[in-house]
Chain A
Amino acid sequence: MKEDAMKTILSDLNGSSGDIEASAVVSLDGLMMASLLPADVEEDRVAAMSAALLSLGERTAKELARGTLNQVLIQGSEGYTIMTEAGSEAVLTVLAKKDAKLGLIFLDISRAAKALSNLLSGA
């Protein structure tokens, strides 16, 4: 099943760095496809927010001539939320610690996004 395959990719991602705390795959219209999120997180809202932010990011990049969107990054006082396009149908949302080494995380995220994109496009 695709959901299991997605969860495997997420679980590899979460295990790849101690800085990554949680992750999820969301459809572009804001529905949860697979997630490894803390139990107290409201999945529906996170999914909808990921889709909304990615879409706004896309529009902003386009409006300001920054090309096609790769990623939206939100830095809060307690950590990062990083949303990355995973193929043409999904968003990979990652929660990371506040002192996370971003360069390393970005590598792991882009690897996972690629794997998800391949999985979802059936490649």
Chain B
Amino acid sequence: MASYKILISGPVGSGKTTAVSTLSDIPVVKTDAKPTDGVAALKDSTTVAMDYGTIDLGDGNKVHLYGTPGQERFKFMWEILVQGSIGLILLINNNHPHPLRELELFLEAFARSIEQIPFSVGITHMDECPRPTIQQYSQLLAAKKHVVPLFSVDARSKEDMNLLVLAMLSMIAPEIALENFKGLTLNAHPHHLRYTKRQRH
């Protein structure tokens, strides 16, 4: 029996709460409030402390999934929640004015953690806004010497979110019941990720 903690972070409106809900096997513990600033124009609730869900890996093994608030004033929650995490998933909303800058900000905020734990990056809302391109993100990450999984994702898609989690985990811990992870198997090399859906019998 083992349990692992994974953190999902990124700027406001990037899909963190949705991602936790998509991945979690239990009803998500949310702490949300009605926005009273500019965020109100974008959505009618915003996370103020954390989201929490779990992923059952079978045999009593469990992933504890935490989502952070996105606004910088909640940075103290980022610092608290990343403690003990074995990996980090960053979500970036491409339909924001400066998504590349937002990625930089989060790389900086988590600089100390990502020296020690793996992370993956998911770009959301690329269907609404195709620029910047995945290649531009990839260049930014490479310039900062990060070789990490990077995908365009939909936070509502279980397949997409599983891919982000698996790609991140595959960088450190292939022993974490990857084969049983939500019907997905992953043949991963950090540079070359392929995943195949398991056959239903």
Count of chain A residues with Cβ under 8 Å from any Cβ of B?
19
Q: Which residues of A contact B (CB under 8 A)?
A: 27-31, 44-45, 47-49, 51-53, 55-56, 58-59, 63, 89
Give per-residue flags for B29-69: 1 if the beta carbon is below 8 A from chain A beta carbons, else 0. 11111111101000000101110000000000000000001
Assess whether B195 is interfacial by the CB under 8 Å rule: no
B80 nearest in chain A by CB position: A52
B32 nearest in chain A by CB position: A55
A83 to B48 CA separation, bound complex (whole angstroms): 15
Give per-residue flags for B69-80: 1 if the beta carbon is below 8 A from chain A beta carbons, else 0. 101011111000
The total of interchain contacts (Cβ-Cβ below 8 angstroms) comes to 61
Cross-chain contact of A30 among B29, B30, B50, B74 (Cβ < 8 A)? B74
A53 surroundings in chain B (CB, below 8 A): 49
Cross-chain contact of B48 among A29, A45, A89 (Cβ < 8 A)? A29
A-B contacts, 23 of them at CB < 8 A, read A28-B34, A29-B34, A29-B37, A29-B46, A29-B48, A30-B73, A31-B36, A31-B73, A48-B71, A48-B74, A49-B76, A51-B49, A52-B48, A52-B69, A52-B74, A52-B77, A55-B33, A55-B49, A56-B31, A59-B29, A59-B30, A63-B29, A89-B34
A48 surroundings in chain B (CB, below 8 A): 48, 69, 71, 73-74, 76-77
B33 surroundings in chain A (CB, below 8 A): 27-30, 51, 55
Q: A29-B35, A52-B69 are known; give 18 further A-B pairs, CB within 8 A.
A: A28-B36, A28-B48, A30-B74, A45-B76, A47-B73, A48-B77, A49-B76, A52-B31, A52-B48, A52-B49, A52-B74, A52-B77, A55-B31, A55-B48, A56-B50, A59-B31, A89-B34, A89-B36
B34 surroundings in chain A (CB, below 8 A): 28-29, 89
Q: Which residues of B contact A (CB under 8 A)?
A: 29-37, 39, 46, 48-50, 69, 71, 73-77
B36 nearest in chain A by CB position: A27
Distance between A36 CB and nearest chain B CB, rounded to angstroms: 20
A44 to B34 CA separation, bound complex (whole angstroms): 17
Contact yes or no, B31 A31, CB < 8 A: no
B46 surroundings in chain A (CB, below 8 A): 29
Contact yes or no, A56 B76, CB < 8 A: no
A28 surroundings in chain B (CB, below 8 A): 33-34, 36, 48
